[in-house]
Amino acid sequence: MSDQGWRADPTGRHELRYFDGAWTPHVSDHGRPSADPDGAAQLAAHGAVLPPPAPRGTPISSMPGWQQGPWPTSQPLTNGLAIAALVVGIVGACFGLIPLSFFLALPLGILGLIFGIVSWRKARRGAPRKGMAISGVVLGAVAITLGVIGAVIVNNAVDDLKDTFDDLGPADEGDFEVSLTSCGPNDSGYGEATGVIENTSNREQNFWITIYFVQNGTRVGQADDYIQDLGSGDSAQFEARGFDEVADSAECEVNVE
Confidence band, pLDDT 50/70/90 cuts, at residue 127: low
CB within 8 Å of 131: residues ≥ 6 apart: none
The whole-number pLDDT of residue 70 equals 45
Please tell me the number of Cα atoms within 13 Å of 239 on its side-chain side.
Answer: 1
Beta bridge partners of 224: 210, 241
73 in any annotated domain: no
Residues 189, 251 within the same domain: yes
- 8 Å CB contact between 2 and 53: no
pTM reported for the whole predicted model: 0.39
The whole-number pLDDT of residue 64 equals 41
257: pLDDT strictly greater than 90: no
Confidence band, pLDDT 50/70/90 cuts, at residue 167: low
Q: Where does a domain end: 150, 168, 186?
A: 168
Residues 91, 141 within the same domain: yes
Share of the chain above pLDDT 90, in %: 16
Type and span of the H or E element at 178:
strand 176-185
72 in any annotated domain: no
The whole-number pLDDT of residue 60 equals 47
Confidence band, pLDDT 50/70/90 cuts, at residue 192: very high
CB within 8 Å of 18: residues ≥ 6 apart: 4, 5, 6, 7, 24, 26, 27, 28
237: pLDDT strictly greater than 80: yes
Residues 215, 247 within the same domain: yes
Q: Which domain holds residue 224?
A: 173-256
95: pLDDT strictly greater than 90: no
Q: Classify residue 204 by its DSSP letter.
A: -
Q: Where does a domain end: 145, 168, 191?
A: 168
Tell me the per-residue pLDDT of 31-76, one tens digit each, with 9 for 90 and over.
788 889 888 888 887 766 554 444 444 454 444 444 444 444 444 5
Rounded CA-CA distance 9/206 in Å is: 86
Count of structural domains, the chain: 3
In this prediction, residues 93-115 reach a mean pLDDT of 82
The whole-number pLDDT of residue 78 equals 59
229 in any annotated domain: yes
The whole-number pLDDT of residue 7 equals 85
The whole-number pLDDT of residue 63 equals 44
SS3 of residue 210 by DSSP: strand
